[in-house]
Structure 1
Amino acid sequence: MLPPILQNLRIPVVASPMFIVSGPELVIAQCKAGIVGSFPALNAREKDGEPPLLEAWLTRINEELDRHNQSNPDHPAAPFAVNQIVHRSNARLERDIEICHRYKVPIWITSLGARPEVNAAAHDCGGIALHDIINNTFAKKAIEKGADGLIAVAAGAGGHAGPQSPFALVQEIREWFDGPLLLSGAIATGRAVLAAQAMGADLAYIGSPFIATTEANAPGDYKQMIVESGAMDIVTSSLFTGVSGNYLAPSIRAAGLNPDDLEHADVSTMNFGGASSKPKAWSQIWGSGQGIGAVRAVEPAADRIDRLAAEYAEAKAEIARL
């Protein structure tokens, strides 16, 4: 059974936190439209000497969603989530945990490492902790360290995607875990959301389609590239972060590299705090999952969510007639 905070969503969808792309505008639009919006804490980057931008973002999100709820008591906004990159190179982690705890962030998403103290901080302020994983071994470790739920990042997902089929990954996790399970991997339509549930997931985890929205903090060329590309335009490489990720081939060519002949990089080169001589993911090399063939235009997030909801309802009705 899902915890109360993940129940009563308009459709069973959590928008994934996308580096650089996800900010307050997108999160607020997603939540108002009835799905969980999220952003990485590291996206809130202030200049030296300025107060933490993360505090300003959380204040804005809380205030705008509160105003929406007061004006729309019959259609309240969905909760939001903040993603913490739990990696040794993230020098801001301790500070960002304290801020999220103080602002009582309702949903915490952790990536690139399972840390009991982060889960404890989420629980202490009344939140829940979801951890993203790419295989069953990491899934078990995450639950052992106190995560409440899992995000299964399967083949075809944007960003740091795993190599496993969603069928295999969900199947193995469901053999031992009956808690909250989200599925990520090329989910871009309401039909795919229902398919994720049929496989055994509770909710779909959707990122790439929201790059091509008016509220996304992405260059216009990036948004248009999402619209014009399909699954064949996605390249998997470890070069840019040290961990295997999925990227748009046209952006790799634009950086002067051959997407068909990329070097490999070791996980030890991953760095969320320092500079690099390589083209940077995600500011120069643009990430995306394989599901973008379903994205036909740049549009407001609310319109995209309306379409997801309509497709989801239609798919449920069709299945019921079988």
Structure 2
Amino acid sequence: MFLVSGPDLVIAACRSGLLGTFPSVNQRTPEGYEEWLVGIRSQLTGADAPFGVQFSVHATNERLAADLEITIRHQVPVVITTLSISREVTDAIHSYGGLVFHDATNMRHARKALDANVDGIIAVCAGAGGHAGTLSPFAFVAELRPELRGKTLILAGAVGNGRSVAAAVAAGADMVSMGTAFIPTIESMAAQDMKEMIVASSASDIIYTDRVSGLHANFLGQTIPANLARPEGEFNVTEEISPKRWRDVWTAGHGVGPIDGIRSVQHLAEKIEREYREAVDCLTSADQAVEVNA
């Protein structure tokens, strides 16, 4: 989550049993990124969940070479790649035992990532915060699952609570990726005004537009100026990650509706687990009822 996820959120997530991740560019320099990695490792133990980092594999990402070298040197357990992927990157991460998961919004992107030997696909569906696809999660998962051949399928897009996690697993996903629900947490780097706006918003407030970066993404409509024009020229990662572009125009997904307060990551993780187990119990009870009626 650009300008949202940092060491405090990642550490709290991992301590709560969740795989915490952050974009490398949330630290404004490669040197700062390396300091974050050192700090995160120093706070985690073998009892905690692993952590991960995200970066854009794209020709216009001026940070790619430096961030990749630092990532390899510190042997970050999980790497999430966006926009593009290459066998060179996956081989480098695999060389020390790391895992690579690639964000894909459609089957074409997913197939390219699988050809590059990623360990799994994050199916970024309609309703996801930030850059998102337009496919229904049910349609995308059903089409993608047979092509993975045992690799991991992670579902993203309006997964905002434990019931959604259970639904994703029931639909065929192995894991889920959650972002919007963690923006209004105490440990998040998001501005207090952003946290409060997310708590007060509903799905109808989310606008899917390419006027912010040139690529379609979901944003809080209240923060998009009426006269904001789509950037001219080709998409450029370096321009995309400029803080001035996302500082005042805030991203969020369709899952904002059920968010009802600012909580600690631990409190939210416990809530998600409780809701998940309740949903699984309901599915089990329904299954048993079908067997009895049959």
Aligned counterpart, 2:236: 271
Aligned counterpart, 1:209: 181
Aligned counterpart, 1:257: 226
- For 2:180 and 2:240, the matched residues in 1 are separated by 26
> How large is the Cα RMSD of the aligned pairs?
1.8
Deviation per CA, 1:242-279, whole angstroms, max 9, x where unpaired? 11000001111xxx326xxx65557x542232489x99
Paired residues, what number? 285
Give 1:28-177 correspondences, 5 Å limit: 28-46=11-29, 52-66=31-45, 69=46, 76-177=47-148
Deviation per CA, 1:176-217, whole angstroms, max 9, x where unpaired? 223100000101010000100111100011000100001111
Give 1:239-254 correspondences, 5 Å limit: 239-252=211-224
Deviation of 1:59 after TM superposition, in Å, equals: 0.6
Q: Does 1:296 align with 2:240?
A: no
- For 1:281 and 1:170, the matched residues in 2 are separated by 32
Q: Which runs of 4+ in 1 moved over 3 A?
A: 262-266, 278-281
Go from structure 1 to structure 2 and tell me whether the alpha carbon gap of 1:209 and 1:275 turns closer, same or farther (over 3 Å shift).
closer
Deviation of 1:280 after TM superposition, in Å, equals: 4.4
SS of the residue 1:162 aligns to: coil
For 1:209, the aligned partner's letter is: A
Deviation per CA, 1:100-143, whole angstroms, max 9, x where unpaired? 10101000100011122111111012101000100111111101
For 2:27, the aligned partner's letter is: A
SS of the residue 2:281 aligns to: helix
- Superposition TM-score, scaled by structure 1 size: 0.85
- 8 Å contact 1:240–1:279 — kept in the other structure? no
Report sequence identity in percent: 42
For 2:19, the aligned partner's letter is: V
- For 2:248 and 2:132, the matched residues in 1 are separated by 19
For 1:110, the aligned partner's letter is: T
- Superposition TM-score, scaled by structure 2 size: 0.93
Aligned counterpart, 1:13: none
Aligned counterpart, 2:282: 318
- 8 Å contact 1:102–1:125 — kept in the other structure? no
Aligned counterpart, 1:73: none
- For 1:283 and 1:292, the matched residues in 2 are separated by 19
SS of the residue 1:52 aligns to: helix
Deviation of 1:282 after TM superposition, in Å, equals: 2.1
SS of the residue 1:241 aligns to: coil
5+ long unaligned stretches in structure 2:
287-294
For 2:236, the aligned partner's letter is: N
SS of the residue 2:48 aligns to: coil
- 8 Å contact 2:125–2:156 — kept in the other structure? yes
Go from structure 1 to structure 2 and tell me whether the alpha carbon gap of 1:105 and 1:275 turns closer, same or farther (over 3 Å shift).
closer
For 2:3, the aligned partner's letter is: I
SS of the residue 2:44 aligns to: helix
Go from structure 1 to structure 2 and tell me whether the alpha carbon gap of 1:275 and 1:295 turns closer, same or farther (over 3 Å shift).
closer
Deviates most, 117-126 or 225-234? 117-126
